[in-house]
Amino acid sequence: MTTFTPLRAGESPTISVLPSHQLSKINDNIYGGFTEHMGRCIYGGIYDPDNSNKNIIDENGFRKDVIESMKELNVPVVRYPGGNFVATYHWQDGVGPRENRPRRPELAWLGIESNQFGTDEFMKWCEIVETEPYLALNFGTGTLDEGWLEYCNSTQDTYYANLRRQNGREKPYNVKYWALGNECWGPWQVEQMTKEDYAKKAYQWAKALKLLDPSITLILCGETGHSSWDYHVLKECVKLDMHSLGGSTTQSLIDMHSIHIYTASDDPVKNALAPRSAERAIQICASLIDLARIENKVPPTAPQQTICFDEWNVWDPKRAPGETGAEERYTLSDALAVAVWLNVFVRQSKYVGMANIAQSINVISPLMTTKNGLVKQTTWWPLLLFSNYMRGWTIGTHLNCSTYEGDAEPAWMKTSVDTPYLDVSATVNDGWVSMVVVNVNLAESFKIEINGITEKTKLVHRYVITGSSWDVVNTEDKQSVGIQELTWDGRGKCEFPKLSITMLRWSI
């Protein structure tokens, strides 16, 4: 958590960190990914068997460079197969001999789905990447008896478990994370639902799924975390079901609540600060979870539900429409926004059980494939820094600096969220303090006193991400934004350049 006081006349700005104040454990799953059958995410991203450059693909048709990048990011969990795509997806179309798999009209993004990549391919890819699969169920045209959970996890002598064996996989995949639909509230959704209809259906599906496999983690479909949909579905579904839980008061039927937010603004400062609205959304949603538990008298023995922020990023669908692949070209301002997003998850680690950048490859992604290689967009670099270092525990931090006074995006932020020019979070892990400071000011650098670096510290590692202007981008020919590795002796003030992300790391 980072507290904030605005700079008053005569004060000089400070950041104070207290490494011994370990506030909450950061779940590694906040560095999760998301791959959807959309644009070039699966076909041409993960799976590229027709690429004439055979050096770039493995024997499965998977892009080797994408696999390496996922490993470099140490992605712990990947959501699949959508997104909006899942509302008309029947998993059975994507298993078994490839030549028998049907081509289907795809209604979310108005394409054709060849089904050449499906469940078994995704599981294999996850094993190679050393990440955990997270599957979303079809709440649009799907039915409860379609048997995907049985196919993936069952060890019994039953139809879908045997189908998996027949398709070459004896051992169960033991998929832990299952989402009860995706954005079922959205007007763009095939089989859009009212909150009442969704809550009823989700609760019944949850019961049946946990009867089949009580070890799974079930994720309820929320909206933004601050809507009446969130309130209603939590109220109706976060309760103890003594039947499906075998009389247990130490388990919860619903384990997590999913929320989605995309931020964007044409104004670079508003754009970089917009993810702070997601911080408020997390706080409100955490309160709604508490409220449902209080109103439904859920005993404290039942595990607390956490937030699964399973789609987040900078995205303006008018600029990069989903139907044409949503290939956003990210600027330095967007990289700052991504760093603020990640600071939010670190600060709110008490409530966030998982977060998934939408998406991992090509579609609104930090990573773009070309025929022969990859472009690491501006947003790749903060993600890499965070995933490598911002793990462990969130520590107590206080910031005193000047405030951005202009309008905010979304507008409601203006009255309920602080907007200091610097955005800060700090962690402690394995004897190292890591602190990220994002300076969203377009014109001004700040020299800041850091309280918490002791006399004992001789060396502070300083990683800086910045660029010549807010709208600079990385291309195939030129990587304008990357990480500069510097050092500092920890004495005096530290300078945070205008439009920059700085990570400071020192051992304690």
- Choose among 181, 253, 241: nearest CA to 216: 253
C-beta closer to ligand AHR: residue 364 or 384: 364
Cβ-based burial of 234 (10 A; exposed 0-12, middle 13-18, buried ≥19): buried
- Choose among 352, 331, 448, 347: nearest CA to 393: 347
C-beta closer to ligand AHR: residue 109 or 125: 109
Q: How far is the CB of 13 from ligand AHR (least distance, A)?
A: 37
Other beta carbons less than 10 A from residue 314's beta carbon: 25
Residue 207 gets which letter from DSSP?
Answer: H
Residue 102 structure tokens: 């049907």
The binding site for ligand AHR (CB under 6 A) comprises: 36, 82-84, 182-183, 311, 322, 358-359
Q: Return the half-sphere exposure (C-beta side, CA atoms, 13 A cut-off) of residue 497.
A: 16
Of these residues, 150, 223, 236, 311, which one is catalytic? 311
C-beta closer to ligand AHR: residue 36 or 409: 36
Other beta carbons less than 10 A from residue 93's beta carbon: 16
Beta carbons within 8 Å of 155's beta carbon, 6+ residues apart: 161, 172
Tell me which residue has its CB nearest to ligand AHR.
83
Residue with tokens 């206080």: 398
C-beta closer to ligand AHR: residue 261 or 374: 261
SS3 473: strand
Phi, psi of 154 (to 5 degrees): -80, 145
- Choose among 23, 25, 66: nearest CA to 369: 66
Q: How far is the CB of 41 from ligand AHR (least distance, A)?
A: 9
Query: Residue 334 carries which side chain, given as an amino acid letter?
Result: D
Residue 284 gets which letter from DSSP?
Answer: H
C-beta closer to ligand AHR: residue 341 or 446: 341
Q: How far is the CB of 117 from ligand AHR (least distance, A)?
A: 16
Q: How far is the CB of 221 from ligand AHR (least distance, A)?
A: 10
C-beta closer to ligand AHR: residue 285 or 361: 361
C-beta closer to ligand AHR: residue 67 or 320: 320
Question: 183 an active-site residue?
Answer: yes
Residue 103 structure tokens: 């081509």
d(CA 310, CA 81) in angstroms, rounded, equals 12
Q: How far is the CB of 327 from ligand AHR (least distance, A)?
A: 12
C-beta closer to ligand AHR: residue 182 or 265: 182
Residue 359 preceded by cis peptide, ω within 30: yes
Question: 311 an active-site residue?
Answer: yes
Beta carbons within 8 Å of 241's beta carbon, 6+ residues apart: 203, 206, 207, 253
Of these residues, 183, 236, 279, 328, which one is catalytic? 183
164-to-55, 98, 171 alpha-carbon distances in Å: 31, 15, 9
Cβ 214 vs Cβ 252: under 8 Å: no
Q: How far is the CB of 179 from ligand AHR (least distance, A)?
A: 10
Question: Could you give the residue numbers annotated as active site?
Answer: 183, 311
